[in-house]
Amino acid sequence: MVRAAVLPAVGAPLEITDIELPEPGPGRVRIRLAAAGVCHSDLSLTDGTMRLPVPAVLGHEGAGTVLSVGEGVTHVAPGDGVVLNWAPSCGGCHHCRLGEVWLCASALTGAGAIHARTADGTDLHPGLNVAAFAEETVVAANCVLPVPDGIPLTDAALLGCAVLTGYGAVHHSARVRAGESVVVFGVGGVGLAVLQSARIAGASTIVAVDVSPEKEELARAAGATDYLVSSPTTAKDVRGLTGGQGADVAVECVGRAVTIRTAWESTRRGGRTTVVGIGGKDQQVTFNALELFHWGRTLSGCVYGNCDPVRDLPVLAEHVRAGRLDLGSLVTTRITLDGIPAAFDTMLAGRGGRALVVF
């Protein structure tokens, strides 16, 4: 039996309880978790914004050590450090054949499988494929990637979602160029990764926007040159910081209609807005036809940073080793499994960066 954070039903409180894991069958890997990040996507499962089978063990951003492998697994072995990949690509669907592996049609198929059982025999699903909110987990072999050399396991957990998403939003989706100005809405774990990535890309002016004035120090340490507390005049204030034109690029990490609209309005004519935040179906964003023509702006969604983890993890590792990317600075709280419900409350209140469960 291992301890895990279980969501019994949508809208129900998270339960920290014992679960029974199977031994890894063919093509599967058993891992002892070192750390797992508490991401807004986990919160989106609890409130039904994202619909996946429950009851489920939550957690999708993690890293750990391989304990055992099933038949046919050759790319990792017991004792290896691995990063969990919650959205593995199948390699054969329409999007994978186009090279858009982040849009793989089968990426979340595993979330519908039976992952484990509670002490009373209740079947559990793996919330986002990997069930990282547990002392141990068993996952498909394509959900694990070797930890790059020189990256501590606890830091490596952040590579599995926040950093890949933030880096990819800047480099693959928005394609920020040196000298451009960037405004980032939402200074949580992903937002902090976006700020660092914008700095790495050579952005000139980097404006961070958040509802909390307490996050200014975090934002500036990550690379923000300016900080704004969200208000009805935010778009105007961003234009004031960017020569009256607006930012070249806006990255929205909140997933709310009002911030998506404000992000779009904060960019210059011809500017680019990338939406990273996951919003609900009730969050309707509206535009009129004339403004779409006149402003010539681009608005695009961004899934998993438009990243291919196999391609991008070595690149991120090099940035870490060179000191350009500071993984530890994304973490504002280190907790145990029992601290996850409080971390969700902190997230809902708009406080802090990334909470990291350390096992």
**The predicted structure's pLDDT at residue 48:** 83
On whether the pTM is more than 0.75, the answer is: yes
Cis peptide before 55 (omega within 30 of 0): yes
**The predicted structure's pLDDT at residue 191:** 96
SS3 18: strand
Q: Which residues pair with 335 in a beta bridge?
A: 357
pLDDT, tens digit, for every residue of 36-81?
A: 999 988 888 888 888 889 999 999 999 999 999 999 999 999 999 9
**The predicted structure's pLDDT at residue 144:** 97
CA pseudo-torsion sign 161, 326, 136, 253: negative
Please name the residue that has the structure tokens 């508490």.
38
Q: CA torsion, points 85, 91, 97, 100, in degrees to nearest 10?
A: 0
**The predicted structure's pLDDT at residue 234:** 98
How is residue 142 written in tokens?
Answer: 């394509």
> Helix 234-241 and helix 257-265: axis angle, to 10°?
30
The contacts of residue 349 (CB under 8 Å, 6+ apart) are: none
Q: What is the DSSP string of 250-319?
A: EEE-S--HHHHHHHHHTEEEEEEEEE-S---TT------HHHHHHH--EEEE-SGGG--HHHHHHHHHHH
Query: Phi and psi (nearest 5°) for 350?
Result: 75, 25
Task: Please answer whether residues 211 and 350 qualify as being in contact, where contact means their C-beta atoms are separated by less than 8 angstroms.
Answer: yes
Instruction: Using alpha carbons only, give the angle 228, 232, 233 rounded to the nearest 5 degrees.
Output: 60
4 CB-contact burial (10 Å; exposed 0-12 / middle 13-18 / buried 19+): buried
**The predicted structure's pLDDT at residue 238:** 98
Task: Please answer whether residues 76 and 69 qualify as being in contact, where contact means their C-beta atoms are separated by less than 8 angstroms.
Answer: yes
Delineate the domains of the chain, giving CATH numbers in brackets. Answer: 2-160+327-358 (3.90.180.10), 166-304 (3.40.50.720)
- State the Cα–Cα distance between residues 271 and 292, nearest whole angstrom: 12
pLDDT, tens digit, for every residue of 91-113?
A: 999 999 999 999 999 999 999 99
- Say how many C-beta atoms besides its own lie within 10 A of residue 92's C-beta: 10
Instruction: Using alpha carbons only, give the angle 350, 4, 27 rounded to the nearest 5 degrees.
Output: 110
Regions of the chain with pLDDT less than 70: none
